[in-house]
Amino acid sequence: MSIENNIIELGKKAKSASLNMKVCSSDQKNLALTKLTKNLDKNRNKILEANKIDLENGEKKSLAKPLINRLTLTEKSIDGLITSIEDIIEIPDPIGIILEEWERPNGLQFRKISTPLGVLGVIYESRPNVTVDASCLSIKSGNCIILRGGSDSFHSSKELVNNITNAFTEAGLPEHCVQMINTPEREAVDHLLSMRDYVDVIIPRGGKGLIEKINSASKIPVIKHLDGICHVYVDKDADLSIAQKVVFNSKMRRPEICGAAETLLIDEKIKDEAMKILKPLKEVNCEIRGDEYIRSLDSDFKSASEEDWSLEYLDKILSVKIVSGVDEAVKHINDYSSGHTESIITESEKTFEKFYNKIDSAIILKNASTQFADGGEFGFGAEIGISTDKIHVRGPVGTKHLTTFKYVVNGNGQERP
């Protein structure tokens, strides 16, 4: 069977399964998720062995360290997946909720009720954890899913899908509610993006190049985010002990994720304190690229180029700039941000309000790390991605965001005059 015919067949099966998925009960969906936690725990050695193959192949292909970090599964990360699934189980079922209801003078009764989107196509790169997160969020919200993981994570994703489908089938969910495209050929993505008769939404997770390609080529609506160029601004009224901790965590907790800070802005009125913030970063070998003043503070600091302000490093590198106050910080962020996440460190509510109102990003934090830009931290259990779109969903995409709605109108024989 050709790749095109194979993808069409996946689409037909998913569409058929989605009709049955819509009537699955909350208990049945939660049973499936519970069975998956047990499968992941029981088969963790098989999962890690499959991941080892991907890691060895990645080393042979000289994958960059941030990509290797994203690709790596460990006992701890499997524990994290299990915990995320347990959190998703506890989340209320987002389907069948009456969002609004009202009655018109003619006696017609209107209800707006949440329903599944239908079939999701999820395309992602070296992140095998997305296989589990996306599948669980999908079925919790009554959707079916077609997964297309990157070639770098092929073996890991395949083993995870085996665990998923076994658990979901045992719980009585519709066959083919979760499917994986079993070829690393890029042609498969092109066919998936054209299947508007079978797939309702495309959700990409990956680098800027992947997202832009999918957005331009897809004939299906896309929930997307581009790169995560996230900023921390340390205001003149900041608590410096908070600033030091938050900046360090924002950059160094996991430098390779989209919520990692890439640029630090410091108010010129506290520029003499800049080294207190930067010293802990230097001590863990974070490369500092700064403006002229920052560069003068330490011979190891490098000069930031114009390009640095718009780079998503995904590594232990931070660009740093002195600004003349919140207005210049806001201008810099609006000029260079990807609209993902920004944080301000300040004790001034007035300054925060200006920062919040004038910056057009999906997530704004006050005195907290940018690394809280995560569906689990928002209480969504997990996320299928972080959207920088403004239509349908913005920020972390959880179960309640993978829904649409129908209007139900009850009458007793009304005719329109």
pLDDT tens readout for residues 134-156: 999 999 999 999 999 888 999 99
Q: How large is the C-alpha radius of gyration of the chain?
A: 23
Residue 188 predicted with pLDDT over 80: yes
Q: Does residue 309 surpass a pLDDT of 90? A: yes
**Which pLDDT value is given to residue 226?**
65
Residue 106 has pLDDT above 90, yes or no: yes
Q: Which pair of tokens denotes residue 352?
A: 């925060």
What is the model's pLDDT at position 71?
Answer: 92
Mean pLDDT over each residue of the chain, to the nearest integer: 94
- Write out pLDDT tens, residues 54-88: 999 999 998 888 889 889 999 999 999 999 999 99
Rounded-to-integer distance, Cα 364 and Cα 79, Å: 29
Among 124-138, 186-200, 254-268, 380-394, name the one with the lowest average pLDDT. 380-394
Residue 327 has pLDDT above 70, yes or no: yes
Nearest Cα neighbor of 195 from 3, 53, 8, 391 is 8
CB 369 within 8 A of CB 246: yes
pTM for this prediction = 0.85
- pLDDT > 80? residue 281: yes
Does 410 score more than 70 pLDDT?
A: yes
Residue 301 has pLDDT above 70, yes or no: yes
Query: What structural domains does the chain harbor?
Result: 3-223+397-410 (3.40.605.10), 230-372 (3.40.309.10)
- Give pLDDT, residue 66: 80
* pLDDT per position as a tens digit, 24-56: 999 999 999 999 999 999 999 999 999 999 999
Mean pLDDT of 325-343: 95
Percent of the chain topping pLDDT 70:
100
How large is the average pLDDT for residues 217-225?
Answer: 87
Flag whether pLDDT at 205 surpasses 90.
Answer: no
Say whether pLDDT at 390 is over 80: no
